[in-house]
Structure 1
């Protein structure tokens, strides 16, 4: 039976968890509070640093560069420097800007992850600030690699979210939250391209409330999907479509993303949000916390750093 512990608190919109084996720490962000965070299980310490006036939606270490990370600053990708302790970061270099910025000033990068070759996959979207449900499909899923070229791989995205890669089966999984599905692609890691998109898992078919958000994959190739507004994490079969294997209930309703971590990669870290929606007040410290789930019987894959 799985066990759940609350390990960090007080995020408004916790997102983008990434376990770094080198530091044995979990990095994540609070998009609304414009901060990046580091949780170190050995000490229980949570360090926060501001990236204001910008918003950061993910933070991934750069391979071979101590204290350097690739992150988003609104609609830009950038390299930042942070020692993991102080409350401020230094912008080292802005790398590029999302192409969908030409369509609207409301464009922002969102979820991002590196494949095992160190190539960054980053989704961007143009969110309707007044009604998220009315967001138009103006976003894209991009790649950015050591050639410093931003390439659009998937277009017509509404809300770009979860990513997962399976090198063994040569598949990539991606979530456009407002589509309500986990989609599968054929994945060519050498070329850095995807093709043959198809729906893999549909929440509505099983009457699951909420929308799919962040996602990770375990060593058996199964997907772990955060459900925003659903108070749960889904374990989805990675080899058989439309198959739910397990559900983990989370005290917070707004579950945003997941990542495996710990020395044996057998701890599932779950980020959540505490956003007021339709006048429903969040409940602290339950909402907006980071949870650690143990005893799932599953292990994750090492988090890939960015190779520039």
Structure 2
């Protein structure tokens, strides 16, 4: 049976950062251009949102064992908020870390590893168009216990992150670099080594596309959003350059993916609606894909102190 692609919500600008909350059976995501965080509950089809001032927000991740508390990225800062998931405003916006001082850089994608450490990277000043983002200005960071570590500079658009705890791997995408990369990850020390490209854009006919957000399934395969390609692809990172499956969407600007649902067997997919590119019929929509014969893993939450 072929995967079934369903449009769940429409009319957004730049959807990013889907995170499935397994405890509350809901999806958190954000609209980068509209400076808003969103919560969608599939069982009731209820959508709520809150605006974070006039700031770019690129991730929203629950804080472990802290009800209604989240880590978000705000421009070039990592911050925490309190949000009940119902109100149209958030409380207690507090900055934890700030990076790239003296620049107008902004954070993009980010994920937490199994220790609760946050990994996120920056890109040059976010312009009104993708073509306006300057190359090579971003940096990949990790954040834990008041420690900020800088791992990789010269990044164009810091993007997809996924982890394989059993193999000790972190997978990473710089969208301007044209590869999905692999690192060895020392989870205790929070260090990366042995950078290797494992999937290359040009070798698979994606020359005009960008690799964007990604997630990992319980079999260790990666699911990668193809921006300007109308696709999510499934690849096997243990066999470099191995494309396993392709899912097509009625939107060209696919931005990110996350597993969700009661059995973590649904793929939730975000998209954008940049007018300078052809967005497709349903650009700026949130999609749900079923019938994919794969399951995800519970999304890791952030571990950090909340100071009153």
Paired residues of 2:135 and 2:176 also in contact (CA < 8 A) = no
Paired residues of 2:106 and 2:126 also in contact (CA < 8 A) = no
Give 1:131 deviation, angstroms: 6.5
Matched residue count: 301
Give 1:120 deviation, angstroms: 0.5
Give 1:128 deviation, angstroms: 6.5
Matched with 1:294 is 290
- Secondary structure of the structure 1 residue equivalent to 2:101: helix
Paired residues of 1:184 and 1:198 also in contact (CA < 8 A) = yes
1:1-308 to structure 2, matched below 5 A, reads 1-98=2-99, 100-102=100-102, 104-105=103-104, 107-127=105-125, 129=127, 132-133=130-131, 135-145=134-144, 147-208=145-206, 209-277=208-276, 280=278, 282=279, 286-308=282-304
- Report the Cα distance in structure 2 between the residues aligned to 1:101 and 1:7, rounded to whole angstroms: 39
* Structure 2: runs of 5 or more not aligned: none
- Report the Cα distance in structure 2 between the residues aligned to 1:61 and 1:194, rounded to whole angstroms: 24
Give 1:136 deviation, angstroms: 2.6
- Secondary structure of the structure 2 residue equivalent to 1:205: helix
Root-mean-square deviation over aligned CA pairs = 1.4
- Report the Cα distance in structure 2 between the residues aligned to 1:169 and 1:277, rounded to whole angstroms: 41
- Secondary structure of the structure 2 residue equivalent to 1:57: strand
Go from structure 1 to structure 2 and tell me whether the alpha carbon gap of 1:299 and 1:83 turns closer, same or farther (over 3 Å shift). Answer: same
- Report the Cα distance in structure 2 between the residues aligned to 1:78 and 1:127, rounded to whole angstroms: 19
* Structure 1: runs of 5 or more not aligned: none
- Secondary structure of the structure 2 residue equivalent to 1:204: helix
Give 1:137 deviation, angstroms: 1.1
- Report the Cα distance in structure 2 between the residues aligned to 1:31 and 1:274, rounded to whole angstroms: 11
TM-score (norm 2): 0.94
- Report the Cα distance in structure 2 between the residues aligned to 1:233 and 1:136, rounded to whole angstroms: 24
CA deviations on 1:227-276 (whole Å, 9 max, x unpaired) are: 11000001011210011000000111100000000111100000001111
Give 1:149 deviation, angstroms: 1.6
Go from structure 1 to structure 2 and tell me whether the alpha carbon gap of 1:58 and 1:274 turns closer, same or farther (over 3 Å shift). Answer: same
